A and B are shown apart, each in its own frame.
Chain A
Amino acid sequence: MNKMLLAALCAAWTVQSLAADTLKIAITGPFSGGSAPMGTSMRDGAKLAVSEINAAGGIAVGGKKLQIELIERDDEAKNDRGALIAQELASMDGLSGVIGSVNTGVVIAGDKHLQEKGITKIITPAAGSASMTQWSKAGVADLSIFRFAAHDGIQSAMVVEEAITSKFTKVALLHDATNYGVSGRDDLLAQIKAQGDKLEIVATEKFNIGDKDMTAQLLKAKSAGAQAILIWGIGPELAAVANGMAKIGLNIPLIGGWTLSMSNYIDNAGKNADGTLMPQTFIEAPITPRAKAFIDAYHAAYKVDRIPSPVSAAQGYDAVLLFAAAVKQAQSADTKKIKLALEDLKEPVKGVIATWKQPFSKWNPASEQSHEAFRREHVVMGRVKDGRVVFAKDADQQRLMKQAK
């Protein structure tokens, strides 16, 4: 009797899993710890897109409507966790793709397992250059990894440009000791050179994750006469830097990577965060109908009045839309076919950040740009004001409003 019941249950389960027309996508990122605002916002933005697609019936593939099923994995921003998760996902049956990753170190530790099995992944919002240059440096002929984030090449160019147009001549570089911080520092150095060596670097200082006292680093910058601090790090340590600057009376601009918009930077630094400048791909301001709809939906769905990391949320949302468009074009849930479709998206995808026309092209080992979606025109400068990130430049806002029309 028991055996029969078991057999029946097994049969029912198999039939069900065959009959269920689902598309399995994994979302990975740090949902806890110092990087959590980015990880959770990305996940929640992605979930919003998924629930909209599912509510509209799903993705039409071969006469069937596929519902998206999400698999969530918390990598805790730890490289070893990231590698384990990537291995698990690489051997998972019927997985169509992976979206996520916040930390460059995690990307470097994990993505090789996905690439080995040819599993399509869209990296968002990890911005460290090394995540993609590792593949062009290795010269791989075919790549299943795409990136949907304003990579540090673009961001460092904007940061350096900002310092030069502000007529600064002496700057201090601060960065954390992670892969992200170190590769950010190298990008900044390269950009300063590329933009004509107009900035003199009077101090280069680093700090570790978890450091709270930045007095030594900041005093070095101060005594060397730095006019601005260019910085690459994540929320909690960035806040320690801003608070330390206020303490020693170092009133110079803090300009750095997009992580300066994280809620744990803005909250922990309080009023010391005001005036911080950073490149952003999305600003939580309802300046276009599309942005308004997205922001309202996010606030309503997660019961917040401020998105912890608006950039991550918007990128997570748009990444799912791109993925879904690729599935529709490929007419398949097969990850390899989806990859080919992503490399040649025929129809423009209307996202919340922009309308994406052919964001990716066939992988070219000579230039990782082929798998990078963001260009300079997708990125704006943001500024912290009263605990929120606003447009730093009117011109950026006007441009986005014009594009939306």
Chain B
Amino acid sequence: MEIVIQMTVSGALMGLVYALIAYGFQLTFATSKSINFGQGELVMLSALISLSLQNLGVPYWLMVPMGLFCGAGLGLIVERVAVRLALEQKSEGWILMTIIVGLFGFSAAENIWGRDDHPFPTPISSDAMHIVGISVTPVELSVAIGVLALMGGIELFKRKTLWGKAFAAVSADRDAAELMGISAKKTIMLSYGLSGMVAAMAGILVSPITTVGPTMAAALILKAFAVAVVAGLESGFGVVLIGLFLGALESLASFYIGSGWREAPGLVLLILALALRPNGVFGQASIRKV
């Protein structure tokens, strides 16, 4: 029994990282109905930039806000370069453009930081703590706290501030929002900035566990897509639940079915979700007026 709990907890904590990245997809999808297919590269680039900041002697707790700031900046660049024009032309060009910007970021990372994985120093201990028979490390707990704090913060911002209300208005009906004097362009920029910040947070949180390198996000991003699709692209609460669930499921599968089958249940879940609830478990079927 202890093992089941241990595997569930370890897996679920990693699942929160999937949830955070998936949340980044939701943010931009809400305002602009577009997502950044190069989100994984934002995670990786922000983590590498944060690592370089640390190597330059910036203390960890100062590096975190600087890293988040860089992430937001990268998000804005993606919006300007890959998304804005396509949206203005009402085309789907952003799909290819975000992939291209992502590939460009990947090459840049390989050339600047090399192809190797580096350890990511953190003041948070990675010595295991034993709580009622299961082991967790403070680093893993910091992932959970960081993910929930950032997501909670953004949700509060969306509900309580004027800018947040604009966010909701543009999500609900872009044209109507524009008529009310809300700048959709600025709101979309804001959503991409936040999405980049979320990616940076994911990178900073997960790096001490996974090490940092150009390929670090390749596996993460696929899981995050799965989480976003299964949960639906609207519900922030949904991604957390599905993230926890998928992480735990993976980890239990690799224990009970075999380590080679780790990814299988997640993919089955994805297929089932697409077949049975195409808008996601927590998504609402869109009402189409004819």
Contact = CB atoms under 8 A, between A and B. Distances in A.
Interface stretch (B113-121, B154-162, B170-178): B113-121
B70 to A, nearest CB: 24
B109 to A, nearest CB: 13
B209 A205 contact: no
A267 B212 CA distance: 13
Interface stretch (A179-187, A246-254, A322-330): A246-254
Contacts of B211: 212, 236, 239, 268
Nearest to A272: B126
B117 A213 contact: no
A247 B126 contact: yes
B135 A248 contact: yes
B117 A268 contact: yes
B156 to A, nearest CB: 32
Interface in B103-147: 114-117, 119, 126-128, 130, 135, 137
B260 interface: yes
Given A213-B14, A216-B259, A219-B3, A247 B128 contact: yes
A243 B135 contact: no
A212 B127 CA distance: 17
B158 to A, nearest CB: 32
Contact of A247 (B11, B137, B210, B219): B137
B7 interface: yes
A33 B114 CA distance: 8
Contacts of B114: 32
Interface string A214-246: 011101100100000000000010010001001
A215 B10 contact: yes
B6 interface: yes
Contacts of B69: none
B259 A217 contact: yes
Contact of A206 (B135, B215, B218, B260): B260
B7 A248 contact: no
Interface in B234-290: 251, 254-255, 259-260, 262
Contacts of A206: 259-260
A34 B6 contact: no
B259 A264 contact: no
Contacts of A223: 3
A76 B260 CA distance: 24
Contacts of A63: none
A248 B128 contact: yes
B115 A248 contact: no
Contacts of B259: 205-207, 216-217
Q: Which of A34, A205, A216, A223 has the most CB of B within 10 A?
A: A216
A94 interface: no
Contact of A213 (B6, B10, B116): B10
A177 interface: yes
Contacts of A215: 6-7, 10-11, 251
Nearest to B120: A268
Interface string B11-34: 100100000000000000000000
Contact of B6 (A33, A207, A219, A270): A219
A210 interface: yes
A210 B14 CA distance: 15
Contact of B128 (A33, A220, A249, A264): A249
Contacts of A213: 10, 14, 251
Interface in B71-114: 114
Nearest to B210: A212
Contacts of A33: 115-116
Contacts of B7: 215-216, 219
A352 interface: no
A36 interface: yes
A321 B146 CA distance: 55
A249 B137 CA distance: 11
A170 to B, nearest CB: 18
A16 B199 CA distance: 56
B140 to A, nearest CB: 8
Nearest to B220: A212
Contacts of B128: 246-249
Contacts of B14: 213
A216 B255 contact: yes
A206 B137 CA distance: 24
Contacts of A36: 115-116
A288 B112 CA distance: 40
Contacts of B262: 216
A210 B219 CA distance: 9
A155 to B, nearest CB: 23
A263 to B, nearest CB: 10
A215 B101 CA distance: 35
A221 to B, nearest CB: 11
Nearest to B115: A32
Contacts of B219: 210
B127 A246 contact: yes
Contacts of A246: 126-128
24 contacts: A33-B115, A34-B117, A177-B260, A206-B259, A212-B210, A212-B211, A213-B10, A213-B251, A215-B7, A215-B11, A215-B251, A216-B7, A216-B255, A217-B254, A217-B259, A236-B211, A246-B126, A246-B128, A247-B126, A247-B128, A247-B135, A247-B137, A249-B128, A249-B130
- Which 10 A-B pairs rank lowest in CB-CB distance, beginning with the nearest? A216-B254, A32-B115, A216-B255, A212-B210, A215-B10, A247-B128, A268-B119, A33-B115, A248-B135, A217-B259
Given A32-B115, A36-B116, A216-B254, 14 more contacts: A33-B116, A34-B117, A36-B115, A177-B260, A206-B260, A210-B215, A212-B209, A213-B10, A216-B7, A219-B3, A239-B211, A246-B128, A248-B135, A268-B211
